[in-house]
Structure 1
Amino acid sequence: MDPSRSEFAIHEAAREGKAGVVDSLLNANPKLATQKDDDDRLPIHWAIANNHLDITSTLINTRNFDPDTPDGSGWTPLMIASSLKDNQGEQTVDLLLQKDVEVNAQSFNGQTALHFASSKDNLDIARKLIEHKASTRLKDKRGQLPLHRAAAVGSMPIVKLLLENKSPLNASDVDGMTALHHATSEGHGDAAVALLKAGAETDKRDMDGRLAIDTAPDAKVRKFILQSAEREGIEIVTS
């Protein structure tokens, strides 16, 4: 069977990077650009997820393109682009931002594109999102801010960027964990110290009654944080 004649041929072509097939199918039936597959995904969702910029550009410029259409998980094209590792989705983000995209749209789990960029340490994308009015103050359904995600992966530059743009510093998620808890528990001592220097409260406890310093994965991380704080003249509550 000719794959170009299957029900979701344009989705397959977008996923596999077959730009010629996508062009051919759209020429025959432009409405295919807005057809959803069994995953509730448009062709553009697949093109972006696989970083096929040429196909993405074609689909973005089709008639009736809606940059905020979510897939079956509530992920918009901007969220998918923002979550690609190593800032690979940056050019796609640029294209979407030119289309008046809703930067603060939230997935079914409440995450925004800024959450995803923060989770993947995509500093350049995070900067662009904030320049286009992305909020640093929106929580997902686990009560986490982008700052929690940046702290959990130890992204010092994004932690700094978020704090410079009015992110709450001491907010707790549904587990009672602050950004300081996340940085410490994941062993990111440098990020923990950066949060302390920014004024992170050390006496907040999570749902298990643990202080942030109690969540350090080993004695080495704990010692690094305590000694660094002492050098900075920061007092840490330890009991």
Structure 2
Amino acid sequence: MSNKAARNLFIYGSLFFFAIFIVLTIDTMGKLDKRAPAITEEVNAGKMVWHKYDCIGCHTILGNGSYFAPDMTKIAEKKPKDYLKQFLMDPKSVNPKASMPKLGISSQEADNLIAFLDWISKVDTNGWPPKPILATAAGIAGKELSAGQKVYQTQNCSNCHMINGIGGTTGPELTHVGSKRDKAWLIGHFKDPKAYVPNSAMPAYGYLSEEELNNLTDYMVSLK
């Protein structure tokens, strides 16, 4: 190849890839606003609460912050809002072993902070972090799930509860719950948790059909 041909290849090749870079940049910038929902006054107030109590000093959001406490990017998808509000206002009333201190967050501040966390959870992060494959970890992959197990999964119970070492720790472990509670107690508790456990942060599942409640309860009773 002659020097002139090499020079032309370099010049036109550079211009070609520079043009591609410009087009991709414009395309990306045009999509950025669509990757997050609109910011409301409540969301903005929640962001102020986040800064007021220096939440980032312990938690991370979208990869920014400290790693002393759980990441909060998708927390609003994993925990019911009633649970989050009670925990934010008085952590140890929900979980006596909680490391988070009682910060004095008011009811309104808690609502605003949850609105901010809900907004954060809706930001398109291209599927990151991936959801854990709990069925595989529990060794039941490839097996037919019972009707009760399906309700347990669809209601995301494992975000708060643990069975055989798989799941969250913010709610009571359910590995042997069938040895501790009968069916009548469990159904009543699902419908109205606070009627059975006054300080419960668990939301009511009375919206489930009777069939779903029975299936879920049968699964709980089987855990002995």
* Fold similarity call, TM over 0.5: no
Larger relative contact order (CA 8 Å, sep ≥ 6): 2
**TM-score grouping bracket, smaller chain normalisation:** under 0.3
TM-score normalised by the chain length of structure 1: 0.25
